[in-house]
Amino acid sequence: MASVQTQRSFNRRACGKLSRTLFRSSPVRHGPPVLAVPSSLFAILKEILRHLLRRPVVGVSVIARTKAGQLVLIKRGDTHLWALPGGTVEWGEDLRTTALRELLEEAGIKQAQLGNLCGVYSHPDRDPRFHAITILVHATVAEPEQPPYNPAEIVEVRLFAMDQLPLELSHGNREMLDRALSGAHFWE
């Protein structure tokens, strides 16, 4: 296990260094950077490539509830609707790691206990951006401790009492949430 963690840490450091080298100017180098691609543009390019490759994208969404029973929702920058925290699996990442990373990046949650799988959603038209396969899991979480990593993607994070949830959620999340809260296990 230690070697796996060491390898992951090395990969993150190596990727981070490569990214800084390619996409930012060096403090030693004078003049404009060779490739000045903003991270938001880079994210858009990745999404375009997913469309071109014509393969389903696998992701995880999390029904994240505090010990007090409040549900964590994020407000998306693209749809301006509330949604469950979650995102796509990165290369070399397992589903549990994806869920924990997305909770941190999108909701600022540093402490989470992942629970049971409650759904697998694969209908090609559920996500308007691309054909997504979403794995839905429960988690018990601490309250958010920091803002989202990308404020253009996630504009707000909020805790909701279960009787005060928004009627509409982005990307089919309301149907997914209602099924999971009813105790149903669902897959398509």
Residue-wise pLDDT for 59-91, tens only, equals 999 999 999 999 999 999 999 999 999 999 999
State yes or no: pLDDT of 1 exceeds 80.
Answer: no
Domain residue extents for the chain:
56-187
Q: Give the Cα separation of 164 and 122 in Å (integer).
A: 28
pTM for the model: 0.72
Which residue would you say has higher pLDDT here, 33 or 119?
Answer: 119
Q: Which of 173, 178, 188, 185 is nearest to 85 (CA)?
A: 173
Which residue would you say has higher pLDDT here, 36 or 114?
Answer: 114
The question of whether 156 is a catalytic residue gets the answer yes
What string of H, E and C letters represents the secondary structure of 131-181? Answer: CEEEEEEEEEECCCCCCCCCCCCEEEEEEECHHHCCCCEHHHHHHHHHHHH
Residues 6+ apart with CB under 8 A from 148: 74, 105, 106, 107, 108, 154, 157
Interval 171-186 mean pLDDT: 94
Q: How confident is the model at residue 40 (pLDDT cuts 50, 70, 90)?
A: confident
State yes or no: pLDDT of 121 exceeds 70.
Answer: yes
The pLDDT tens digits of the residues spanning 131-159 come to: 889 999 999 999 999 999 998 899 999 99
Q: Report the pLDDT value the prediction gives residue 12, as an integer from 0 to 100.
A: 45
State yes or no: pLDDT of 4 exceeds 50.
Answer: no
Q: Which of 105, 143, 153, 156 is catalytic?
A: 156
Q: Report the pLDDT value the prediction gives residue 101, as an integer from 0 to 100.
A: 97
Q: Which CATH number fits domain 56-187: 3.20.20.10, 3.40.50.10470, 3.90.79.10, 3.60.9.10?
A: 3.90.79.10
